[in-house]
Amino acid sequence: MSNLDNLRKAGLFTRNVPRYTSYPTAPFFHEGVNGKIFESWVRALQPGMKLSLYVHIPFCERLCWFCACRTQGVKNLSPVDAYLDTMETEIAHLARTLPDGITIARLHWGGGSPTILPPQSITRLTEALKTIAPFDPDMEFSIEIDPTAVDDAKLAAMVDAGMNRASVGIQDFTPEVQKAIGRDQSFEVTRDVLLKLRRLGIQSVNTDIVYGLPHQDSDSLDSTIARVLELDPDRIALFGYAHVPWMAKRQKMIPDSSLPQPKERFDLFNQASDAFKQAGYTALGIDHFAKPNDSLAIAAAEGRMRRNFQGYTDDTCDALIGLGASSVSKFPQGYTQNRATTTAYTAEIKAGNWATARGYSLSVEDKIRARAIEMLMCDLRIDVPILRATYGNRVGLLALDLQRLHEIYPDFVTYEDETVTVRPEGFHMIRILASELDNYHSTSGKHSLAI
């Protein structure tokens, strides 16, 4: 049987599985983990610890139809200003609560479109964030940039604020594809923003490409890839389009009939992946590529790459706190998530509460499974001796699952010396393999297709 037949038989083209940016995945968060618990986890952070901050700006000037982000289209800045007022209150509450002696080593602004903020708001938000804890001198500060919603003054304000890494959204440069996803963005506008970022001294630029978009085919993807390589980004994320119109209503604008079929998605991914590798990029995890001297590629080579809600990262901070509507925080004890809508978030903060809506408190077994899944997603292997160094003999609870993984998928993984290693033939199966270690996984169809 060919490997393609094996993959098909194993469900690669039919199964829906999580992307495992957390374990357990967000649908298992519950209301039992509330603001009181969030506060206790903040207070338990110790002097000397490093903190990562995520700031969520859930507004966009345009609403692209393919996008499943929780974001709100706005015609003027008054809702954005009101949201920043609320966020300043949340920030002040956190600044009063966080123990002394902690520094902020990572800061990421995402959304939505943080580039919707005018220069004075960028400065104002940064000054507020500095009151939470001192910024580490080596702090990595990244911002997601919509090239169609940024100008010189905004870029200058971001660099003045300390931004040293940028993530520039692209998706696809083909006009027919852009029209079908409601996102008009020329190569020239994108190139100009990248050139300006470099001129302003930004050390690392990341770009996002999406495969599986409507009307995308091998030729159109080829031309997008060529243009992306011309831009010479330091990192490239190659995401599969997740068509979930029952969750993301805007996606109803994209007819099912315009979408590449699962086998075509498989071919498109391989085409892009081969092209990026041939161009000298190192493949990382399941869907990232980076220049060999990029810090993420170095972290991956040294076994330090991690996975969180923003995707792959070399962030090893002790905790991540999310600010703003729907943002997720991660503590050694578990996860919390803020209220999803700006209205509910604002109401909680205005009432003097934390905006925590739900979360998850991790058991030791959850932590072991979370780390094993993370290893699989990042390193394409699960090394039990490394897990044992952290969790002791409790890692024995995985033994049967790992044995079973090898028995079910002998063509896709090896299992020797207490280490499961994904064979090249099993690369596309990683999310499915991870789901076999997931005690909570349900095949409810809420997740995106495995390829």
Binding region for ligand SF4 (CB under 6 A): 60, 62-64, 67, 69, 71, 111-113, 146, 169
Phi, psi (deg, nearest 5) at residue 129? -60, -30
* Residue 235 Cα distances to 217, 229, 294, angstroms: 23, 11, 8
Compute the least distance from the CB of residue 151 to ligand SF4, in Å: 16
Compute the least distance from the CB of residue 383 to ligand SF4, in Å: 36
How would you classify the pairing of strands 165-171 and 204-211?
A: parallel
145/413 with CB nearer ligand SF4 = 145
60/368 with CB nearer ligand SF4 = 60
25/115 with CB nearer ligand SF4 = 115
Q: How many helices (H) and strands (E) does the chain have?
A: 15, 21
Compute the least distance from the CB of residue 62 to ligand SF4, in Å: 6
Compute the least distance from the CB of residue 162 to ligand SF4, in Å: 23
> Residue 115's closest CA among 71, 155, 164, 78?
155
What is the full DSSP assignment across 110-165? Answer: EES-GGGS-HHHHHHHHHHHHTTSPEEEEEEEEEEE-GGG--HHHHHHHHHHT--E
Compute the least distance from the CB of residue 312 to ligand SF4, in Å: 19
163/213 with CB nearer ligand SF4 = 213
What b/e string do you get for 149-187 counting C-beta neighbours within 10 Å, with b at 16 or more? ebeeebbebbbebebbbbbbbbbbbbeebbebbebebeb
* Residue 141 Cα distances to 58, 127, 203, 270, angstroms: 19, 14, 11, 32
Categorise residue 445: left if φ over 0, alpha if ψ from -120 to 50, beta otherwise: left
173/409 with CB nearer ligand SF4 = 173
113/216 with CB nearer ligand SF4 = 113
Q: Which long-range contacts (CB under 8 A, 24 or more apart) does 19-22 make?
A: 19/431, 19/447, 19/448, 20/307, 20/373, 20/374, 20/377, 20/431, 20/434, 20/438, 21/307, 21/308, 21/309, 21/310, 21/311, 22/308, 22/309, 22/328, 22/330, 22/335, 22/370
Compute the least distance from the CB of residue 304 to ligand SF4, in Å: 29
Compute the least distance from the CB of residue 185 to ligand SF4, in Å: 9
The CB-nearest residue to ligand SF4 is 67
235/369 with CB nearer ligand SF4 = 235
41/109 with CB nearer ligand SF4 = 109
Distance CA 102, CA 182 (A): 43
111/334 with CB nearer ligand SF4 = 111
Compute the least distance from the CB of residue 154 to ligand SF4, in Å: 15
Compute the least distance from the CB of residue 1 to ligand SF4, in Å: 40
68/347 with CB nearer ligand SF4 = 68
Compute the least distance from the CB of residue 65 to ligand SF4, in Å: 8
69/244 with CB nearer ligand SF4 = 69
Residue 129's identity, in one-letter code, is L
Residues 114, 117, 119, 120: is their CA dihedral positive or negative?
Answer: negative
Alpha helices (H) in 248-358, listed in sequence order: 262-278, 295-301, 342-350
> Residue 338's closest CA among 67, 35, 112?
35
Compute the least distance from the CB of residue 19 to ligand SF4, in Å: 17
